[in-house]
Chains A and B, each alone.
Chain A
Amino acid sequence: MTTLARLHSIDFRQIGLAGFGRAGDYYKRQMARLEATSRQQVLPGQVPELPHLQELLRWYSSHLPEDMVTIVHGDYKFDNVIFHPTENRIIGVLDWEMSTIGHPFTDVANLSMPFYHAPGFPPPIASVVDVEGIPTIEAVLQLYCRHAGRPYPFAGWPFCISFAFFKVRPVVYMRRGW
């Protein structure tokens, strides 16, 4: 979370990334794109419509978080960071193919998904809640906000974490070329 907070604190314009992505309305644009993609991915008898698509889009439209603009990694999670072999610190961040300019909480939500998996989800995507040595999601979010200089709690968090789950299927299928 501290590494992510550092990434989100970089002034992307100052380092020449002003044209790396469109600034602002990241979630609105994601909603429109993922809705269109989800509809295109429907294949009768093979791929059904995304469950609750219309209801979720309505809810998302009325619960959009306050807009923020930073560098976004796009797939920030434990599999995509390299830890120092003997020290408790990250020495590398991998897999930047989905990076852009966008809303920082999309990365925070992506990394936080293991705290919100439904009971019964199997490893490797099982819930980490109540796992010994893992802090609570509240402590994790507070750590991020402290290092990113953002207020805690973040009012738009329910949107962000729900949207992280919503986008999984369209993105997975896009990567498969569907």
Chain B
Amino acid sequence: MGPQFSVIFQGIAARAAKGQNSNPMAEIIGQLSEPMAERAYELAQQASTARL
């Protein structure tokens, strides 16, 4: 797990300890939504012969 993900999970765990997030799964996906947008770009690039 890279440092970016470690930071995300530390933040989620800290808020969970304070009772500030009621849905950890939604929280995790929310935190990873930017990397998922990057993944959308990578997948489109892989499928394309030309640079986007």
- Interface residues, chain A, with chain B CB atoms under 8 Å away: 48, 50-52, 55-56, 58-60, 63, 79, 116-118, 120-122, 124-125, 158-159, 161-166, 168-169, 172-173, 175-176
Contact A122 B44 (CB under 8 A): no
Q: Of A52, A55, A60, A175, which is within 8 A of B26 by CB?
A: A175
Contact A172 B33 (CB under 8 A): yes
Smallest beta-carbon distance A6→chain B, Å = 27
Main SS at interface, chain A: helix
A51 in contact with B38 given A168-B29, A168-B33, A172-B30 (CB within 8 Å): yes
Smallest beta-carbon distance A149→chain B, Å = 25
Residues in B30-52 with C-beta less than 8 Å from chain A: 30, 32-44, 46-48, 52
Most chain-A Cβ atoms within 10 A of its Cβ — which of B32, B37, B46, B48?
A: B37
Main SS at interface, chain B: helix
Q: How far is B4's CA from A105's CA once the two chains are assembled, in angstroms?
A: 31
CB contacts (< 8 Å) of B42 on chain A: these are 118
CB contacts (< 8 Å) of A175 on chain B: these are 26
Contact B40 A121 (CB under 8 A): no
For B10-38 the 0/1 string (1 means CB < 8 A from A) is: 00000000000000011011101111111
Task: Considering the complex, give the chain B residue whose CB is closest to the CB of A54.
Answer: B52
CB contacts (< 8 Å) of A52 on chain B: these are 37-38, 40-41, 52
CB contacts (< 8 Å) of A176 on chain B: these are 30
CB contacts (< 8 Å) of B48 on chain A: these are 59, 63, 158
Contact A117 B39 (CB under 8 A): yes
Smallest beta-carbon distance B17→chain A, Å = 19
